[in-house]
Amino acid sequence: MSLHKLRLAAAVPVTISTFSSRLFLKPFPNTLTLGLFSRRLQPRKPLLVRAFSASAAVQDIPATQTSESSARPQWKASIDFKWIRDNKEAVEINIKNRNSNANLDAVLELYENMLNLQKEVERLREERNNVAKKMKGKLESSERERLVEEGKNLKESLVTLEEDLVKLKDELQHVAQSIPNMTHPDVPVGGEDSSAIRKEVGCPREFNFPIKDHLQLGKDLDLIDFDSAAEVSGSKFFYLKNEAVLLEMALLNWTLSQVMKKGYTPLTTPEIVRSSIVEKCGFQPRGDNTQVYSIDGTDQCLIGTAEIPLGGIHMDSILLESALPLKYIAFSHCFRTEAGAAGAATKGLYRVHQFSKAEMFVICRPEDSEFFHHELIQIEEDLFTSLGLHFKTLDMATADLGAPAYRKFDIEAWMPGFGRFGEISSASNCTDYQSRRLGIRYRPSEPLQTGPKKGKANLPATKFVHTLNATACAVPRMMVCLLENYQQEDGSVVIPEPLRPFMGGIELIKPKLK
C-alpha cells in the first residue's frame, strides 16, 4: 500500500485502497460492433501489468500514481449516477442483455465513495470555517494557538482530501464511461439471430445466365481498379473509373436531393477531427484494434463516419427548443483501418479503407427521438425501394447494439455475387448517450401562461438533447448491390431510373471497346 493511501486512510474511513485492484482485475467491455463502423470498446490492458512486469525499482511507485497515469480523462461525460444508482437492477440487466463488460458494482462503489468523500470534504470545510469564525473574537493566547494549530491541520487534511476527490472522480468517469445506453423495450433480447425482421421488400432477382460478382463486373467494365491502389496505397483501397465515378456522384446527388425534400440541411464536414470528439461519439480512437486512423504528431484523427463531425457541430452548446429538431444530411469521405476484418465479406468493395457516404443526423427533444428514428428508417427504406433493391429491415437484438444505441435498425440488401444479404445501412437512436458526452443541451421554452416578468432565475432547466444517426447512402455497398443486381447477360449493367438524370442520362454501362 502506498504512503499516499495510508495518509488518506488515516484521514477518512473510506476503503479506497480496494478500488484499484478491483478495477484492474476486471478489464473493460469486450468488442461490440455497430453496423458499418464497429465501435470497439478496447479491452484496456490491466494497468497494473506495468508495475508487475517492471523492475524492482519501479515497483516502489505508489499504486495510485500508476492508476493515475491511465485515468485523467480529457473530458467528462455528464453521466446521471443518481439515476443509475436508483435503477441499479434495470441497468444490471441491460448490461447483461447487451453483452457488455461494464462493471456496475465498481461504478456504484466508486460513486458511493465519491459521495462520502464529498460529504467529508464539506464537513471539514465547515469545521475550518467554524475555527476561522471563533478566531475573530477575543481569545486567550493558548486558545488562539490551539485554534491556529487546528486550522492548519484542517487545511492540510482538506488539501489531501480534495486531491483524492479529484482522483476518485476521474476513476469513476473512467469506469462509468463503459456503461452502455439503456435499451428500447421493444428491442429483442439476445444475439444476432434474435434480431427481428421489421420489413422485407422485393425478392431476389432470378438470373437465367451465369452471374458475375461486382469485382468481375468492375474489371470487365473498367470501373474499379484495386490493383493500382494496392501498389499506391495498400490493399482494400481502390480507384473508381469511368461510369463508376458518375454513378458515385449520381448516388450522392440523388440521395441528397431526396433527403433535402424531407427538411434535412445538406453539409460537407471536416474529415480530420480531434480524437476527443471521436471518443465522445462512442468510438475508440486508440489501441491495437482501433478502427480509427490517427494523424502523426497531433491529437487528430480521420473520421470513420460523418456522424462524428455531425455530433461535434453543436458540441458544448445550449440550443433553443424552437431550433429543434436539427436535421442534417452530410456528405463525407470515411476512413477505417478495418483492423481484424477478414473473410469472404471483405471481398472487393464490401469492406474498404476509404469510401464516400451520405449520413443523416438528427438532434431533437427527448420526447421526439422515437418519431425521428422511424422517420430515418422510413427515408432509408424509401430510398432503397426507389432503387429497386431487395432488402430487409432488422430491429437489431440487444447483443448487437453498440454502446451508444438505444435502438438500431439495420438494412440488409441482397447481393447476388455473395449469394446473401449484406448490410447497407443502419439507423440508430442514441438518446442522450452522445449528448451527455458532447454537451449538447436545449432550454425548454417557457410555458405561455407565465407572468409578464421573467428573471433569468426563472428560466427552465436545460435538458440533454437526443441524437440519431442513419446512413443515407454508403456508396461502395450501394455499388455492390447495383452492379450485381442490374447486370445483363451481355455483361452490361442497367442504371436505375432515378439515378439517370444525375448522370447525364446514361441508362446502361456497356463494355468498353478495346
Active site residues: 336, 351, 423, 426, 477
Instruction: Fill in the DSSP letter of residue 318.
Output: E
Q: Which of 205, 219, 333, 443 binds a copy of itself (CB under 8 A)?
A: 333
Q: Is 505 in the site for a copy of itself (CB under 8 A)?
A: no
Q: Is 323 in the site for a copy of itself (CB under 8 A)?
A: no
Q: Is 70 in the site for a copy of itself (CB under 8 A)?
A: no
Q: Is 253 in the site for a copy of itself (CB under 8 A)?
A: yes
In whole angstroms, what is the distance from residue 45 CA to residue 318 CA? 37
In whole angstroms, what is the distance from residue 243 CA to residue 241 CA? 6
Q: Which of 36, 267, 362, 424 binds a copy of itself (CB under 8 A)?
A: 267
Look at residues 263, 252, 291 and name the one whose alpha carbon lies nearest to residue 479.
252
Residue showing cell 431510373 = 497
User: Within 13 Å and on the Cβ side, how many CA atoms surround 496?
Assistant: 21
Q: Is 241 in the site for a copy of itself (CB under 8 A)?
A: yes
Q: Please, what is the minimum distance in Å from the beta carbon of residue 326 to a copy of itself? A: 12
- Can you name the residues that pair with 340 across neighbouring β-strands? none
Helices 243-260, 475-485: inter-axial angle, 10-degree rounding: 110
Q: Is 235 in the site for a copy of itself (CB under 8 A)?
A: no
Nearest residue (CB) to a copy of itself, 266 versus 511? 266
Q: Is 239 in the site for a copy of itself (CB under 8 A)?
A: yes
Nearest residue (CB) to a copy of itself, 293 versus 418? 293
Burial group, residue 417, by CB count within 10 angstroms (0-12, 13-18, 19+): buried
Q: Which of 171, 248, 380, 432 binds a copy of itself (CB under 8 A)?
A: 248
Q: Is 232 in the site for a copy of itself (CB under 8 A)?
A: yes
Q: How far is CA 221 from the centre of its chain?
A: 38
Nearest residue (CB) to a copy of itself, 256 versus 389? 256
- Can you name the residues that pair with 469 across neighbouring β-strands? 361, 428
Nearest residue (CB) to a copy of itself, 187 versus 479? 479
Q: Which of 270, 287, 491, 498 binds a copy of itself (CB under 8 A)?
A: 270
In whole angstroms, what is the distance from residue 328 CA to residue 260 CA? 9
Q: Please, what is the minimum distance in Å from the beta carbon of residue 169 to a copy of itself? A: 24
* Cβ count near 188 (within 10 Å): 18
Q: Is 279 in the site for a copy of itself (CB under 8 A)?
A: no
Q: Is 353 in the site for a copy of itself (CB under 8 A)?
A: yes
Q: Is 257 in the site for a copy of itself (CB under 8 A)?
A: yes
Torsion of CA 176, 179, 185, 190, to 10 degrees: -160
Residue showing cell 438532434 = 363
Q: Is 289 in the site for a copy of itself (CB under 8 A)?
A: no
Residue 190: which residues within 8 A CB-CB, separation 6 or more? 397, 398, 399
User: Candidates 136-144, 184-192, 196-204, 329-337 — which segment interacts with a copy of itself by CB under 8 A?
Assistant: 329-337
- Check if the beta carbon of residue 310 is closer than 8 Å to that of residue 330: yes
Look at residues 328, 336, 260 and name the one whose alpha carbon lies nearest to residue 467.
328
Q: Please, what is the minimum distance in Å from the beta carbon of residue 178 to a copy of itself? A: 24
Nearest residue (CB) to a copy of itself, 186 versus 231? 231
**Positions in the binding site for a copy of itself (CB under 8 A):** 225, 228-229, 231-234, 237-242, 244-246, 248-249, 252-253, 256-257, 265-274, 277, 293-297, 300, 302, 309, 312-316, 331, 333, 335, 353-354, 356, 504
